[in-house]
Structure 1
Amino acid sequence: MWCSIFSFLLLILLLFLFRPLAEFPAAVPRVKRSAVLPLRFRHDGTFKILQVADMHYGNGAVTRCRDVPPAEAARCSDLNTTRFLARMILAEEPDLIAFTGDNIFGASATDAAESLFKAFIPAMQSKIPWAAILGNHDQESTMSREELMSFMSLIDYSVSQVNPSNGDLKRIDGFGNYNIMVKGAFGSELVNTSVLKLYFLDTGDREVVNGVRTYGYIKESQLAWLRNNSQLLRGSSEQVALAFFHIPIPEVRDLWYKEYRGQYQEAVACSSVNTGVLKTLVSMGDVKAVFMGHDHLNDFCGEIDGIWFCYGGGFGYHAYGRAGWPRRARVILANLKKGKKAWMGVESISTWKRLDNEELTKIDEQVLWSRE
């Protein structure tokens, strides 16, 4: 009897295992929803970027906020960061969202891919193109820096890149070195010409130099790529570029003794190594401003050798901050010059910040650069 039952069950199992493959439901591949490219200026001659610095996203609703007033602490989580991002997108309607590192806080993120996906949901839902780079905390969870950049490049509406095709460069340090070109407005002679260049650079996480641990920094291979890219993209049109990276360069510390706009509330946490980033940017001549993150209590802009260096200010609620000092975001606006018949090249770059309060208060509006 038991033998007969066993034989019957074995027959059923074999029939199941050798069913035609057509009887099994086919897996449907998930295709990335791509942004409309190329990026270009609007019909009113503007191009707006929303900078989001240091979201430090963890696991969502279960991840508690840091450094908020006691009355808010019980109800505060990563979802506050999500709401702030959604409100900023709705209020400013940017043409590009730039995430400048520490998008997730690796030590709190159980699954890096899931946390990244949750962190970028408002950007994906808006269908606005977005670009991201890594900070020094993103890789502390379950994915390497290369895997993180690859994953971010595959998310809906992302225009992020793992790294560029290097041309003559055999290798470029880091992951997340790339440029984005913004073309002129429809109806202008520059409609098919890149008039604004956006450089994104990976500043790494940590390094050991002469036995001493320090923050990461931009390497010579990256600077060589930057110089080469600047030369290749140089044409007869207006030369204007912006740069985005996470960890500030050492020269930003000197702004404590100079004029700046905004709040300088903590020491600049940079690398002990100076690889000549400032010298490179000055020699290129096209970069008018650099936008950084990393130091959450700094949101100032200051000029060094003709280039503005601006912090985004702390955005995320799981990131360290200061109770009573609202989380904030930076907005960057490029304006084209109006010609007799059509829009021309970039005429000015301005910026401001918005606070995460009921009014999304706008503060510290300033012109960073204008063509004389």
Structure 2
Amino acid sequence: MRLETTGQKAFKICQLTDIHLSDTPLNEASQKSLTAIDKMLQANDFDLIMITGDLLWGKQASKPAETLGALYDVLNRYPVPVAITYGNHDAEGNLDRAGLRQLEAGLAHPADKHHAAVVDDRESYTLEVTRDGKLAHVLYVWDSGDYSHWPADEQYAAIEPEQIEWFTRLPYARTQAQTDLGFLHIPLPEYTQAGQAILTGEQGEAVCSPVTNSGLFYTLLKSQNVKALFAGHDHDNNFTANYRGIGLNYGNPTGYNSYGTLPRGARVISLLPDGYETEILNF
């Protein structure tokens, strides 16, 4: 599905993250998550549902096609485009990331992907938002992977250099006047510095980023068009911050079937012609 808005109207994005669904038949916590998502989508109008990883709770979901089918059955009730990137737990079960991407065929309203590229089984792509029929905003989606190539030195994967090169070669204009956004699962190392100047939300745990800094934030600083990133991964963090002119934000944990004390819900992002606004929508 195309992503469209008109005039000065906000383009509203619902960010779901860390749903952590279990095996089927779904346990009580997983079913509670789906029921809450369903009620939220009934009560609110969104232009895009962006899921930023850990849809599945790793090996606990031994039948990922069935588990994701239950989630997609809920999403398919609403004529809202859906886009997905994956987290560190999604491919710990029976399917690799390629297999998970194939299951996206079960979505009734997939958002149109552009310039998709796969590196190390991690798909990066863009979503294009038009205003009055003209390209107005680009949403950049990076699959941040799972675990490091060097597990003795660090736990989580860094963005691959090829994924940064993909971004730099895309045929989009990049100016300070643009309002483009980025989405990924694992936060960048710069989220640690951002946590020292929180604007809204909570930091209940240390930022679980890769130790290796492969340079995506530096590239975004130079490009000037990406005004904010939205991550997941850390269930006790849902803060927003502005670090060196770029918003470094967490989503809000969505699923009840996982650790963390934050109230469950979603992050709503209102993409405006000249900026963005964001808030937490609790279940």
Flag whether TM exceeds 0.5 (same fold): yes
The answer to whether residue 254 in structure 2 is matched with residue 315 in structure 1 is yes
CA distance change for structure 1 residues 160 and 203 in 2, over 3 Å: closer, same or farther?
A: farther
* 2:125 aligned residue: 178
After TM superposition, give the deviation of residue 261 of structure 1 in Å.
1.3
Equivalent positions of 1:131-170 (< 5 A) are: 131-153=83-105, 155-159=107-111, 164=115
1:279 is aligned with what amino acid?
Answer: Y
* 1:196 aligned residue: 137
Equivalent positions of 1:72-111 (< 5 A) are: 76-111=28-63
2:124 is aligned with what amino acid?
Answer: N
SS at match of 1:280: helix
CA distance change for structure 1 residues 210 and 350 in 2, over 3 Å: closer, same or farther?
A: closer
Equivalent positions of 1:1-372 (< 5 A) are: 35=1, 37=2, 39-42=3-6, 45-60=9-24, 62-63=26-27, 76-153=28-105, 155-159=107-111, 164=115, 172-185=119-132, 191=133, 193-209=134-150, 211-229=152-170, 232-234=171-173, 239-322=178-261, 325-335=262-272, 346-356=273-283
After TM superposition, give the deviation of residue 55 of structure 1 in Å.
0.4
Identity, in percent, stands at: 29
Consecutive unaligned residues of structure 1, counting only runs of 5 or more, are 1-34, 64-75, 186-190, 336-345, 357-372
- Aligned-pair Cα RMSD in Å: 2.1
SS at match of 1:195: strand
- Post-superposition Cα deviations, 1:291-334, rounded to whole Å, max 9, x if no partner, equal 10000110000111110011112110112122xx4212100001
CA distance change for structure 1 residues 281 and 55 in 2, over 3 Å: closer, same or farther?
A: same
Contact kept? 2:22, 2:61, Cα under 8 Å = yes
CA distance change for structure 1 residues 210 and 145 in 2, over 3 Å: closer, same or farther?
A: closer
CA distance change for structure 1 residues 172 and 319 in 2, over 3 Å: closer, same or farther?
A: same
Please identify the structure whose Cα radius of gyration is greater. 1
SS at match of 1:121: helix
The number of residues matched between the two structures is 283
- Post-superposition Cα deviations, 1:82-131, rounded to whole Å, max 9, x if no partner, equal 11111221222100000000011122112111111112222111121000
CA distance change for structure 1 residues 311 and 321 in 2, over 3 Å: closer, same or farther?
A: same
After TM superposition, give the deviation of residue 165 of structure 1 in Å.
5.2
CA distance change for structure 1 residues 130 and 213 in 2, over 3 Å: closer, same or farther?
A: same
2:101 is aligned with what amino acid?
Answer: M
Contact kept? 1:152, 1:160, Cα under 8 Å = no
* 1:369 aligned residue: none
Consecutive unaligned residues of structure 2, counting only runs of 5 or more, are none
Larger relative contact order (C-alpha < 8 A, sep ≥ 6)?
Answer: 2
TM-score by structure 2 length?
Answer: 0.93
CA distance change for structure 1 residues 221 and 332 in 2, over 3 Å: closer, same or farther?
A: same
1:137 is aligned with what amino acid?
Answer: H
After TM superposition, give the deviation of residue 176 of structure 1 in Å.
2.4
